[in-house]
Amino acid sequence: MARCGVRILAMIAFGLLWLAVATPAQAATKYAALIIDTASGTVLFERHAGAQRHPASLTKIMTLYLLFEAIDEGRISLDDRLKVSKHAAAQPPSALNLRPGETIRVRDAILALVTKSANDVAVVVAEALGGTESKFARLMTERARRLGMRSTRFRNASGLHDARQVTTAYDMATLALAIRRDFPGQYEYFSTLSFSWKGRTYNNHNKLLGHYKGTDGIKTGYIGASGFNLVASVERHGRRLIGVVFGGKSGSRRDRHMKRLLDSGFEKASDIRIADLVVPPLPAPRPDRDVQVASAEAVPADTGSIGAQAAALLPPLPQPAPQFEAGSRDEGVEWGIQVGAYASEIRAQRSIALARGHLNDLLTGADAAVEPLDRRTGTIFRARLFGLSEQEARSACLSLKRQQLPCVPVPGRDDIELAAGPKG
C-alpha cells in the first residue's frame, strides 16, 4: 500500500516537470482538469493541471484532513461539542446559521462540511484545533507541504475568497489520495448523501454520488474567482480514478464535463498494465513561493503533457466571465421552489415527494424543507426544495404548473438572511 502511494505521488510530481511557463492569456483562465489512475499513478488527462487556481470549498478537504488527524490521535472525539464563536457565526453562506455560544458535535460538524459545505462550521473546527482561524490556516499550509502540495497556500478554513489562497489540480489530486489513504474509515463520510440539522435536510452538493456509477466522494466548491470546482473519486471493476475540475460555468456543466473525462479515463486505464510501468524518482522539491494567481511566471503551462491527446478529444468548458464575490458556496447563489403551503406537515411532505416524482432529474439532489409558519389562524407548513439556481427554480415551476401543481420560485433562506444584513 505504501509503495503504491509513493508510486502515485511520484507520477504526480513527475507530471509537473513536463509543464512549461504559461502565457498571460493561459494564466487568466479559470479552467483546469486532471484525471489520474490511482493504481498506476498514470495521468490519463490533464489541462492546466499545474496552474494555480482558487480552491473555494475544496479547501474544506484539508480542514477535514486535520480534523480526522486530531480524531485519530485522540485529541478530539466524535461526541465532543465544539463552541461557536461570534467570528464563526458571522460567516456568509453556505452556512448552518449557527449562533454564538451554541455548540455542535464533531460528528455533525463533519457531516455539515461534507454535505452542506458550511462555512460557519469550518471556522468552528478551525478555532477548536488551531485556536484561531489564521493559526489553523498556517497548520493547513504546513500539512500541505508535508503531503507534497508545493503549490498550495491556505488563508482560511472554508474557502472564502482570498487572492492569496491558491492550489493546483495536481495538489488537489494529491490531497484526495492522501485523505483516503491516511483515514480510510473517516473517508466514508464523503459518500454521505444527506445530513439533517434542526429540522432541515441538506443533500450532498456532489451530484455524482448516486448518479455516476462507482462514485464515493469527495467534494465540490464554488466562488466567482474560481468557477465551479469538483474533486471526484470513482471506482469501477477494481480500478479507481481521481478527477479534478476547476472553472466550470455551472455546477451541472462541471459535472457533465467531469463524467466525460472519467468515461474517457476508464477506457484508457483498461489498457494499462501496472507491472510494465517504470516510475521515475521524485524530483527535488521546488522552493516555496508566495505567488499570485494570473502571474505568468507563477503559472506553468500544460504543453507536452501525457494528456495532450486526450485534451484534443475533449474540449474544455466554456470560460465564464470574470466575477468576484465575498462568499463561498458550492452551487453559487441558492434558490428554491415552494410547492404549496398546507395545514399539516404530512401534506407538505407529500407535495415535495410529488414534485420530485415529476422532476426527478432536477430535484433529486435538492434539499427538502418543511418550514412551519405561525399565523393568527394557525400554523401552516411550507413545502420547499432548495439548492437550485434561479434559472433552475423558474424552469421547475414552469414544468410543475403545466402539470397543474403549485409552485413558486423563492430565494434561498441563506440569501434572504444575508441580504438583511448582519444580525445584532
* Selected residue with higher pLDDT from 36 and 386: 36
Most confident of 343-347, 354-358, 373-377, 389-393: 343-347
Which residues, in sequence order, are CB contacts of 76 under 8 Å at separation 6+? 67, 70, 106, 128, 129
Most confident of 155-159, 351-355, 361-365, 403-407: 155-159
Q: Which residues participate in catalysis according to the annotation?
A: 57, 60, 117
**d(Cα 81, Cα 121) in Å, to the nearest integer?**
12
**Are the C-beta atoms of residues 164 and 155 closer than 8 Å to each other?**
yes
- What percent of the chain has pLDDT above 70? 74
| Residue 327 reports pLDDT greater than 50 | no
What is the predicted pLDDT for the residue at 365? 55
**d(Cα 11, Cα 406) in Å, to the nearest integer?**
54
pLDDT in tens, 56-100: 999 999 999 999 999 999 999 999 999 999 999 999 988 999 999
Q: How would DSSP label each residue in 38-88?
A: TTT--EEEEESTTS-B--GGGHHHHHHHHHHHHHHTTSS-TT-EEEPPHHH
| Residue 420 reports pLDDT greater than 50 | no
Assessment of whether the complete model's pTM goes beyond 0.95: no
Residue 78, φ and ψ in degrees, nearest 5: -65, -25
Residue type, 254: R
What is the predicted pLDDT for the residue at 413? 45
Other Cβ atoms less than 10 A from the Cβ of 145: the count is 13
The three-state secondary structure class of 34 is strand
pLDDT in tens, 36-60: 999 888 999 999 999 999 999 999 9
Q: Which cell goes with 131?
A: 485556536
Q: How confident is the model at residue 407 (pLDDT cuts 50, 70, 90)?
A: very high
Beta pairing partners, 21: 300
